[in-house]
Amino acid sequence: MKTRIVQLLTITVCVGMLSGMSCKKDTNSNTSTTNAIVPDVFKKFATAVVISSDGSFITLKSNGVPDHKSCYFATTDSRYEAYNGSNPAFSKNPNSIGTKSFVFKIPANPAVDATHQPTPLGPIGIAVNGVAIYNQYAGPNQPLTNEINSFDQNNGHPDPTATYHYHVEPLYITLNKTKSALIGFLLDGFPVYGPSENGKTLVSADLDTYHGHTGVTADYPNGIYHYHITADAPYINGAGFYGTKGSVTQ
């Protein structure tokens, strides 16, 4: 009988190997360098975002396409919706939404960086729906003043490389997940939350120069540094990354 059980186990292991699965005995082990446990907070991402961890970095792969309607999809696309937002000065930009191959690598154990690197133009983080987060500038140190008028009804727009992105509160996310929800992560691995906390709507003056503060969140009961989105500039990030940033390719 014992021999029989061993044979069955052997067969199971071999099937696992054939299908490319790991044959580690302890699937909860966190010692593997290629298959570490992804923290539960990342379950808040849309299933379209493929997430893994090597223990040092969380890797998030996304096509960057929003999971909501936009006036920047082709009019023949079922995801197209004419602008119905609240900005009377809305003016569509000439760009359209393209499919990207984002690979974000963010620290699994984010840590403060004393040099606080400035955020670059282009992706500085990823929202829970896989859309890129951009900083508060339209170009090198150029304010968003004019860009704001091309934000669609969900507060995003595509750039000339067809990358759809948010510079400000992603309205589809805060409408569906609440104003205090996890919005995403910046490249330094620190989370971004909506504008509301403990029933209070935060403004930039409530936050530090990087646009965050340290405290308990729903996902981090022991407390963590986190950014907040506010309605006033600089909206998501202030004077650079709080922590050591990871990387992004597309």
Closer residue to Zn ion, CB minimum distance, 57 or 194: 194
Phi and psi of 29, rounded to 5°?
-65, 140
Counting residues that bind Zn ion (by CB under 5 A) gives 2
Closer residue to Zn ion, CB minimum distance, 36 or 182: 182
Residue 64 CB, nearest approach to Zn ion (Å): 13
Residue 165 CB, nearest approach to Zn ion (Å): 6
CA distance 196 to 209: 18
Give the residue, chosen from 110, 197, 242, 243, that forms a contact with Zn ion under the rule CB under 5 A: 197
CA distance 125 to 215: 20
Residue 145 CB, nearest approach to Zn ion (Å): 12
Residues 210-249 that bind Zn ion (CB under 5 A): 215
Closer residue to Zn ion, CB minimum distance, 91 or 115: 91
Q: Which residue lies nearest Zn ion, judged by its C-beta?
A: 197
CB 192 within 8 A of CB 186: yes
Query: Which region among 13-21, 36-44, 109-117, 196-204 touches Zn ion (by CB under 5 A)?
Result: 196-204
CA distance 151 to 72: 10
The residues with which 133 forms a beta bridge, in sequence order, are 125, 166
CA distance 133 to 227: 13
The residues with which 211 forms a beta bridge, in sequence order, are none
Residues 11-70 that bind Zn ion (CB under 5 A): none
Neighbours of 243 (CB within 10 A): 22
Residues that bind Zn ion (CB under 5 A): 197, 215
